[in-house]
Amino acid sequence: MSRKIAGIGFAALAGLALDASGPAEAYMVYVTNEKGNSVSVIDSATLAVTGTWKTGRRPRGVTTSKDGKELFVCASDDDRIDVLDTATGKILRSLRSGPDPEQFILGPDGNPLYVANEDDSQVTVIDIEKNKVLAEIPVGVEPEGMGLSPDGKILVNTSETTNMAHFIDTATHQIIDNVLVDARPRFAEFTTDGKLLWVSAEVGGTISVIDVASRKVIKKITFKIPAVTDEAIQPVGVRITKDGSKAFVALGPANRVAVVNAKTYEVEKYLPVGQRVWQLAFTPDQKLLFSTNGTSNDVSVIDVEAGKVVKSIPVGLLPWGVAVSPN
Amino acid sequence: MLTSSRPLLAASLGLFLAGLAPGLTAAQEPSAAPPAGVETHIGLIYRTQPAPASYDAEAVPEDEGVAGGRMAVRDNNTTGRFTKQTYALDEVALTSEQGTEAAVTAARNLAAKGIRYLVLALPAAEVLAVSDAVKAEGVTVFNTAAPDDVLRAAECRANVFHVIPSRAMQTDALAQFFRLMRWTKMFLIVGPNEPDRLYAEAFKNSAKKFSLKISAEKPWTFGPLARARGDTPTRAEAMVFTRGLDYELAIVADEANDWGDYVPFRTVDPRPVAGTQGLIATTWHPTLETWGAAQAQNRFRRLAGRLMRPLDYQVWAAIRTVGEAATQKKTADPAVLVPYFKDPAFGLPAYKGVSLSYRPWDQQLRQPIVVAQAKAMVSVAPEQGFIHQRTPLDTLGVDQPETACKLR
């Protein structure tokens, strides 16, 4: 009931540029706290924490169901995925994820769930309705990043110690190809047209842009920040706007999010955020972007259009992943 | 005694396969039958520890180092599935009674079997003897256990790569931390063994480099008191020999772990202890969990049933050097890989947040060094603010302009 009012209040306070048509939509932002064993819930209109929900141990990857009614959380140290009711914050059930689930991605129809099992060098495909393992696909050492082509036909997993992006056919669960990228690939993000894939390399310090059809690296993006050592520039989370114009790259202990022109691959600017920034998530209207800052235990809120950090919000211990409700 | 880790590997792969869901085709499975002739054998020569006393709270495990090598070969093979490369570890365990000649013979035997990458967990003199003995066969040696600076200087060898940080790197790591904390007055206590003397020498050099003062120095003459039992009479003179000294920090040089742990809380003045015990510089620590280290810790514990130790990590890094280079270059041919180890393009991700690489001037692995006390990590060197035109990692150890190494 008070959301709309609060939204206007905040906008006035922070000087956020809002549509003339009205206040920003209120979405729910879910942040996993790796050492807090919890999810912090943030209202995107008020930018206030509205709740903290208990999860299994070491919650990392997080995503919502297509209707937003359920929240999936990798409880890595409990070897399961917790499914939470977003209305109550209670754990409804747990999925058989295979050991040490770290990141996952939901199929375009809301099922199945593709899970990277970090300690076990495999990707597990789970039917979330039947809680049934459909397939286990052996991949490289320490699988983490999970990207899915917009049509759901190609799954990409990155393995951190093997340093490859594994291209997997979701119909057959077969690996089609393996593309070598730079050291410690953490995240894979397709462009909306499905033609390009961006893969971050945490230790390599680069983004590899891969042409999906030919599976060749067509561009390597590097970063340079005055007064920050190259070693501290460690790209992890990547998000690309739906219109394909801009990409945001979280740079870990460089404590910056890079704004990259996704057409020319030029880095336009570096936004100062909290410490050790890893994961990013847009609101569905793409007006705001949230970043998880592990060592400062907070979330930075970025105004996408203005390219500015508008707020930082304290959350639980060691925030890792972030997901936003679809509605 | 020649042993092989192959049965163990096969068994674990079997488990892995058994866990696969039905309906998966053979094409995805780890290649059970790799194309003949592409398996890369890596040799590992180490010395087993003498049996511990009836009770030793921290006995050195029998498989120290080897277990790290086994994990590395598994990691190499997991990656190798996608590059059609397979690896095997040929382990040779020497007993503590067997001399240098046994190590040399073992190395020659491995070389005769075609092994071109040889990992040594042996002291400095044996590293030299072995590497010289197999040089003609084109064997590349990885030194994982000898920190001696002389191996990176007057006695450096073109066919030896050093994974373990030199003593200079270890003491530089501590000295940087003390400089950061502005603890500058050191009381150096030096044990009776040659490695202790070398450690003390390295520490003195580091003190000079980072403007610390050695305000006092004494030899340790009271025996291996850290190994004494609780009912052994307390050696009073050992407790009072720190009296009347002006210092902020006691530095112990005791590489054999004989007495260094006796010193904390027994100094007359309340002073922290660092060096080979107390606050130490190391490559690996049970409390290291950032930069993906938690995954390595878990993987290791599952494999070996114990915590990963620094020597395990060093052997792992040596074997992963070969695996990583082979992945990048798509071959295991030493003619291609060995020059590439030193290439600026080579980088080994090894749970330290940055890529590790080998210094071309002395073939020492540059790496961040963990500064830790028994129960917690305290810092990681290089410390913030210590800068270098190449990489901050080169603020640790001997830099190119100072090197006395002429690779041959």
- Contacts of the segment A108-114: beta carbons below 8 A, 24+ positions apart: A108/A148, A108/A150, A108/A151, A108/A152, A109/A66, A109/A152, A110/A65, A110/A66, A110/A67, A113/A72, A113/A81, A114/A146, A114/A148, A114/A155, A114/A157, A114/A170
pLDDT tens-digit series, residues B216-269: 999 999 988 888 777 666 667 777 889 999 999 999 999 999 999 999 999 999
Distance CA B77, CA B79 (A): 5
Residue contact A121–B27, C-beta within 8 A? no
- Let me know if the fold of B2-165+290-367 is the same as that of B168-282: yes
Interface of A with B in 232-251 (CB under 8 A): 234
Closest partner residue to B391 (CB to CB) among A100, A133, A231 is A231
B48 three-class SS: coil
Mean pLDDT across chain B: 89
Paired tokens of A127: 């039917």
* Percentage above 70 pLDDT, chain B: 89
Residue contact A203–B354, C-beta within 8 A? yes
Predicted pLDDT of residue A222: 97
Residue contact B295–A180, C-beta within 8 A? no
Residue B75 has pLDDT above 60, yes or no: yes
Residue contact B75–A175, C-beta within 8 A? no
Predicted pLDDT of residue B399: 95
B39 three-class SS: strand
Predicted pLDDT of residue B237: 75
Of A215, A104, A101, A133, whose CA–CA distance to A167 is shortest? A215
Which of B57-61, B137-141, B294-298 is predicted with the least confidence, judged by mean pLDDT? B57-61
Q: How many residues does chain A have?
A: 327
Residue B115 has pLDDT above 50, yes or no: yes
> Tokens 């809002």 correspond to what residue?
A18
DSSP per-residue letters across A50-118: EEEEE-SSSEEEEEE-TTSSEEEEEEGGGTEEEEEETTT--EEEEEE--SSEEEEEE-TTS--EEEEEG
Residue contact B292–A253, C-beta within 8 A? no
Q: Which residue of B has its CA nearest to A227?
A: B385
Q: CB of B16 within 8 Å of any CB in chain A?
A: yes
DSSP state at residue B345: T
Distance CA B391, CA B387 (A): 7
CATH of B168-282, picked from 3.40.50.2300, 1.10.10.60, 3.30.70.20, 3.90.79.10, is 3.40.50.2300
Q: CB of B204 within 8 Å of any CB in chain A?
A: no
Residue B2 has pLDDT above 50, yes or no: no
Residue B394 has pLDDT above 60, yes or no: yes
Interhelix angle B293-304/B310-329, nearest 10 degrees: 110
Model confidence band, residue B8 (pLDDT cutoffs 50, 70, 90): very low
- CB distance B292 to B354 below 8 Å: no
**Segments in chain A below pLDDT 50:** 1-22
Predicted pLDDT of residue A235: 97
pLDDT tens-digit series, residues A199-216: 999 999 999 999 999 999
Residue B285 has pLDDT above 90, yes or no: yes
Residue contact B353–A174, C-beta within 8 A? no
ipTM of this predicted complex? Answer: 0.76
Paired tokens of A34: 């790796």
**Interface probe with A: pick from B299, B331, B346, most Cβ of A within 10 Å:** B299
Predicted pLDDT of residue B22: 38
Residues of chain A positioned with their CB less than 8 A from the CB of B23: 135
Distance CA B397, CA B172 (A): 6
Predicted pLDDT of residue B116: 97
Segments making up each domain of chain B, as ranges: 2-165+290-367, 168-282
> CATH fold of B2-165+290-367, please?
Rossmann fold (3.40.50)
Residue B19 has pLDDT above 60, yes or no: no
Residue contact B292–A166, C-beta within 8 A? no
What's the rounded mean pLDDT across residues B375-384? 95
Which of B63-77, B310-324, B355-369, B380-394 is predicted with the least confidence, judged by mean pLDDT? B380-394
Tell me the shortest Cα–Cα distance from A143 to chain B, in angstroms.
11
pLDDT tens-digit series, residues A273-288: 999 999 999 999 999 9
Q: What is the distance, to the nearest Å, from the Cα of residue A129 to the centroid of all Cα atoms in its chain?
A: 23
DSSP per-residue letters across A175-220: EEEEEE-SSSEEEEEE-TTSSEEEEEETTTTEEEEEETTTTEEEEE
Residue contact B25–A162, C-beta within 8 A? no
Residue contact A183–B347, C-beta within 8 A? yes
Return the CA Rg of chain A.
18
Tell me the shortest Cα–Cα distance from B13 to chain A, in angstroms.
12
Closest partner residue to B295 (CB to CB) among A119, A174, A178 is A119
- CB distance B119 to B319 below 8 Å: yes
Residues of chain B positioned with their CB less than 8 A from the CB of A234: 353
Q: CB of B328 within 8 Å of any CB in chain A?
A: yes
Residue B12 has pLDDT above 80, yes or no: no
Distance CA A219, CA A223 (A): 13
- CB distance B154 to B131 below 8 Å: no
Residue B377 has pLDDT above 80, yes or no: yes
